[in-house]
Structure formats: C-alpha cells, structure tokens
Amino acid sequence: MQYRQAKTGKLLIDILPNKCDFCGCCVGVCPEDAIELKEAEIYIIDSRCTNCSKCIWACPIEVIKFDKEGVPEKQVNK
C-alpha cells in the first residue's frame, strides 16, 4: 500500500485518502515536492518528507495529521 508512509523524522504525517478531496493545497505549499497527487489518489513520498507540517496547516478539511499522540493537531472548534 502506497498511502500512509512518511517517516523520515520522528513524526509521521498521515493523509487520510478516504477523506481527501484531492484539492492540491498541500502540494502547493510542500517545499520538498514530497506529495504525489493523482486524480483520486494521494500519498507522501517517504524519502522526501521532512515532517515540516505545512501541508497539515494548509489542508482545508483537516485530513492530514500527525498520527502520534501528543503532537498538536489543528485546534478544531467544531
């Protein structure tokens, strides 16, 4: 499975493909060219991701997250 992968640093960035809308915000802000986005398929390129979190902040629908406990996710009000 190509989907959830990034593990270059201590943290893991997780894109939830079944919730993703494939809009491309994350790709636009990714400084490492570490996200592959096809018509309806998305995954992080393991070897490039540095866990910088910019994709998490830019995601309009909160489907990119760190998947470890204790790591700040978006403070969702609703």
Partner 1 sequence: MKEEYDIIVVGAGPAGTIAAQYAAKEGSSVLVLEKDRDVGYPVRCAEAINREGLEAFIKPDPKWINAEITKFGFVAPNGKKVIIDLGKVEGYMLERRIFDYELAKIASEAGAEILTRTYVNGLILEDGKVTGVKYEFRGQQMEVRAKIVIGADGVESRVGKWAGLETCVDFRDMECCFQVTAANVQCDQDTLFFYFGKEVAPEGYFWVFPKGEGTANIGLGVSGGIGKKRSALSYLNSNLEKFFPTANILTQVAGGVPSVITLEEIAAPGIMLVGDAARQVNPLSGGGISSGMIGGSIAGKLAAQSIKNNNLNYIKKYPKEWHKARGKKHKILDKLKDGIYSFTDEQFNKLIESLIKLPSKKRTIGRFFIIALANKPSLLKEIVKVFVI
User: Which residues are near partner 1 by CB under 8 A?
Assistant: 21, 23-25, 27-31, 33, 36-39, 54, 57-62, 74-78
What is the distance of C-alpha 24 from the center of its chain?
A: 11
Q: How far is the CB of 40 from partner 1 (least distance, A)?
A: 9
Q: Least distance to partner 1 from the beta carbon of 68, Å?
A: 18
Please work out, in degrees rounded to the nearest 5, the angle formed at the alpha carbon of residue 50 by the alpha carbons of 47 and 55. Answer: 110
Half-sphere exposure of 76 (CA within 13 A, CB side): 9
Choice between 19 and 68, CB closer to partner 1: 19
Identity of the residue, 10 or 38, whose beta carbon is nearer to partner 1 in the bound complex = 38
Closer to partner 1 at the Cβ: 4 or 48? Answer: 48
10 vs 21: CA distance, rounded Å: 27
